[in-house]
Amino acid sequence: MAPPARPDLAEPDEHLIREAEKIAVALGRMFPGLCEVVLHDLRDPDHAVRAIENNLSGRQLGDSATELGLARIADPAYPDVVQNYPNRFPDGRPAKSTSIGIRNADGEYVAALCLNLDVSVLSPLTLTLANLVATDTAHRDQPPETLRDRNARELRRAVEELCARRAATPRSLSREDKRALVRQLHRDGHFDSRDAAQTIADLLGVSRATVYNYAKTTP
């Protein structure tokens, strides 16, 4: 004779689903108006919707399982997580969805936690942000100004780096190399700071007037 049925066998699964409800509610309330979170009880596919937070699809508690939920019920080997797949709400709005299967201690699917992100809200925002951060491509290679403070320390470092490329010290550069160096400093915006010409003159061992003369020949 078969042993009597024990109604408490389903209690661990019920506890698991009640805990998942807390997660569904918390996630939905974290993204109001943006992400719908639905908990499906796969033990009862005809009345699967156990919790729905931030309702964007119009479904109700007790509604039936979706095709994905039925697939999990039919196939225990179905993937635990189906991530970021395209979807649509009943009114046609595009959505990005993720479905997370929840297994009990026996490895059976008992629930699924589904997130449906309304990307129709984000698309205009993305375009707005892209336009906001866009810059004029005409000045991309050579900006007309810099917002940095071109102080003497930075200027000296720039001169030393340019000289190092020629394996020389500032004062040992030839006249043509000094002229080329001044032109490069001018292009890089180092003449924007006060006393830049005098600092460059001191480093190169030339007069301030010579530095200005080199700068004026900048193409």
Distance CA 34, CA 121 (A): 7
Phi, psi values for residue 130, rounded to 5°:
-65, -40
Q: What is the pLDDT of residues 43-95, one digit of tens each?
A: 999 999 999 999 999 999 999 999 999 999 999 899 999 999 999 998 888 99
What are the residue ranges of helices labelled H in 67-148? 67-74, 119-133
Other CB atoms closer than 10 Å to residue 182's CB: what's the count? Answer: 28
At residue 121, the pLDDT reads: 80
**Helices H, strands E: what count in the chain?**
7, 5
Q: What is the pLDDT of residues 109-151, one digit of tens each?
A: 999 999 999 988 877 777 677 777 776 655 555 555 554 545 7
Q: What is the pLDDT of residues 190-209, one digit of tens each?
A: 787 778 888 888 889 999 88
